[in-house]
Chains A and B, each alone.
Chain A
Amino acid sequence: MNILNPLQIEILKEIINIGVGKSADVLNTMIQTHITLEVPEVKIIQFSEYQDFVDYFEDENYAVITLPFNGDLTGFSKLILSSDHAAKLVNAFIGRSGTSIDMDSLRIDILSEIGNVIINAVMGTLSNMLNINLDYIVPSYEQGSRNIIIPEEMIKNESTILFAKTHFKIEEFEARGNFAIFFRVKSFNTLIEKIQIYYEKNLL
């Protein structure tokens, strides 16, 4: 199995960073506040490392927005927030204070839109910059323990995952979370190929 070399990982990080940056622009205009982004992290995770990966997240309740994608690449884009931070993030959009309000369907709808803005920007950037054709399914929302972070289908297939993650923060509302893309292993060759083309075309 081919894996990404350090240069390819750097390019992938850069593209994700640009995408999240675009999503930040959209969100900034929606709530007139500043979103801080950290440099993305890209990891290859074998099935045997799943537990370690899950344990990396705090043991609490999570709200997760998932956008599955098919086409040249297959996988799942996810916005992962602890319930507490999800509530803070929603409050930032509806102008309410307090954090411990249950996620009713009104709040879930808003969180789904926020997730949609971030995911769309990253995935749009990825597909545009690397010239990848993707089909999308309507995003879904779920909440539960940290065990919902890895897509169930990947657990079932014991897939190796290419995991790209970035951490964002909205200082004013003390809200933070992670954006992650889980690529299926069969996508790796295409991804490497597309990154290589991008590199040769734009960076050499």
Chain B
Amino acid sequence: MSKFINTDLYYALDYFPEGYFIIDDTFKVIYWNKSLESLTGVEKEEIINKKLEEVFPNFGKESYKSRINPVFKGGPPVVLSAKLHKTLFTRNNSETEFYYQVTISSIRIAENKYSALIAIENRSEIYNQINDLIHLRYKTLNEISEKERIHSKLINQHIEIQEAFTSVSEKNLEIEKQKQQLQELVATKDKFFTILAHDLINPFSLLLGYTSLLSEKIESYSLKETKEMINMLNQTTQQTYDLLQNLLQWARSQTGRIIIRPEIIKLKDIIESNIVLLKNNMDYKKIRVKNNIMDGTFVFTDLNMLNTVIRNLLSNAIKFTPQVGEIKFEIVLHQNDETNKSEHNGFLTICISDTGVGMEEEKLKNLFKVEKSTTTIGTNNEKGTGLGLIICYEFIEKMGGKLWVESEIGKGSRFFIKLPRYSE
């Protein structure tokens, strides 16, 4: 067991920087060191021999007394942390808080008699620093979280702007597309009126002229002259009929009223029938025609549409092929990879080639565009509407096929038609 503490030695505690005081088992202050005077503002004379709670009322609370009392029986030291007991040294009529870490130890002053040595360590400065750091930490965390919030808001706004841009771009594209469609429609309409105004008026002027002459002066013409005039009338009527038929089909296709009815068609026969139909025109220009399509070649498509296409392409070939030229129908394995593949994918490619005048690059580009197309006079001054190829292109597209052309000035043209084949 430890020895008794000599009370005469208490004064030594005046030399310590920490605050120390001693109370007896009645809580009477029996020693108060120098450091405490500056720490608490309570002078030694003011507190000595007074009960602690007279100066610091909180010490009178039961919760403190019950913890401190065992010390007067030699019990273990009591620790009162600064944070939890900051009003322990608050005096009457004061709200000042003190961050003092308090340790109360038992000191044996006589047999079975103990006093309590109370050590006070000022933690104010360190707590203030900790509180400043905690405050700084929260402030920094808040700032980080605010920055993150702003950053995320900016990202969202950026995304919204991007989406708005995309939407505007899409709308612009749509507007551009609609504008193009509108231009095409206007061009179609213009073309229609041009044909009506010009191409249809001309033959009618001719028809009216000849019929007027014949009705008024038929007696003054010889039989030969009359026959020539009637032939001319017949030819003009035929041309006008062809023109009207093309015009009607084209107009129907524009309004989407043409319905495709695919059937099995023997290719050689349909070409042959068109050759027969236009034989006179070919004979007139001494053009040779070769139908090199094999007997067993069938396509699966709309007969009327295909007929129109073949007739127009053959008629064109005749128109632009000079005297003693040649026109040829054949099935080709085209160099183009896509077409070769198509051969294996249930398609075939028909080539209609001529030894005609051919076309320059610029004309080829706009050949199938209604808004850009122009009519060209044939080698024998044959007239046209510029509508035939446009009808061919649109019909082939509708039939699920493809139409394209290769041509060279002076060497002739090759028109290719890719169509669904039929295999027995």
Is B127 part of the contact surface with A, judged by Cβ < 8 Å? yes
Contact among A30, A71, A109, A119 with B82 in the assembled complex (CB-CB below 8 Å): A109
Contact among B70, B74, B123 with A109 in the assembled complex (CB-CB below 8 Å): B123
Measured as residues with beta carbon below 8 angstroms from the partner, the interface class of chain B is 20 to 34
Given A104-B130, A136-B76, also A109-B1 (CB < 8 A): no
Given A94-B83, A110-B81, A135-B2, also A120-B75 (CB < 8 A): yes
Once the chains are docked, how many angstroms separate the CA of A142 from the CA of B80? 18
A123 x B76 contact (CB < 8 A): yes
Contact among A29, A93, A94, A119 with B76 in the assembled complex (CB-CB below 8 Å): A119
Q: Which residues of B contact A94 (CB under 8 A)?
A: 83-84
B77 x A105 contact (CB < 8 A): no
Contact among B1, B2, B84, B126 with A113 in the assembled complex (CB-CB below 8 Å): B84
1/0 per position for B1-12, CB-CB distance to A under 8 A?
110000000000
Smallest beta-carbon distance A155→chain B, Å: 24
B82 x A29 contact (CB < 8 A): no
Once the chains are docked, how many angstroms separate the CA of A91 from the CA of B218? 126
Given A26-B67, A105-B130, also A120-B76 (CB < 8 A): yes
Q: Which residues of A contact B127 (CB under 8 A)?
A: 106
**SS class of chain A's interface: helix, strand, loop or mixed?**
helix
Once the chains are docked, how many angstroms separate the CA of A191 from the CA of B22? 33
A120 x B130 contact (CB < 8 A): no
Once the chains are docked, how many angstroms separate the CA of A30 from the CA of B82? 15
Is B79 part of the contact surface with A, judged by Cβ < 8 Å? yes
Given A29-B63, A138-B105, also A109-B75 (CB < 8 A): no
Is A112 part of the contact surface with B, judged by Cβ < 8 Å? yes
Once the chains are docked, how many angstroms separate the CA of A30 from the CA of B81? 13
Is B106 part of the contact surface with A, judged by Cβ < 8 Å? yes
Which A residues form the contact surface with B (CB < 8 A)?
A: 26, 29-30, 67, 69, 71, 93-94, 104-106, 109-110, 112-113, 115-117, 119-120, 123-124, 127, 133-139
Q: Which residues of B contact A26 (CB under 8 A)?
A: 66-67
Contact among A67, A105, A136 with B126 in the assembled complex (CB-CB below 8 Å): A105
B75 x A116 contact (CB < 8 A): no
Once the chains are docked, how many angstroms separate the CA of A30 from the CA of B74? 24
Q: Which residues of B contact A113 (CB under 8 A)?
A: 79-81, 84
Closest A-B pairs by Cβ, 3 of them: A116-B79, A109-B81, A113-B81
Q: Which residues of B contact A93 (CB under 8 A)?
A: 84
Is B214 part of the contact surface with A, judged by Cβ < 8 Å? no
Is B339 part of the contact surface with A, judged by Cβ < 8 Å? no
Once the chains are docked, how many angstroms separate the CA of A62 from the CA of B105? 27
B83 x A109 contact (CB < 8 A): yes
Once the chains are docked, how many angstroms separate the CA of A30 from the CA of B64? 11
Contact among A110, A120, A134 with B78 in the assembled complex (CB-CB below 8 Å): A120
B1 x A71 contact (CB < 8 A): yes
Which interface residue of B74, B126, B127 has the most chain A CB atoms within 10 A? Answer: B74
Smallest beta-carbon distance A91→chain B, Å: 12
B77 x A138 contact (CB < 8 A): yes
B77 x A116 contact (CB < 8 A): yes
Q: Which residues of B contact A110 (CB under 8 A)?
A: 81, 83-84
Q: Which residues of A contact B80 (CB under 8 A)?
A: 113
B75 x A124 contact (CB < 8 A): yes
Given contacts A94-B84, A104-B130, A127-B75, 8 further A-B contacts (CB under 8 A): A26-B66, A116-B78, A120-B78, A124-B76, A135-B1, A136-B76, A137-B77, A139-B79
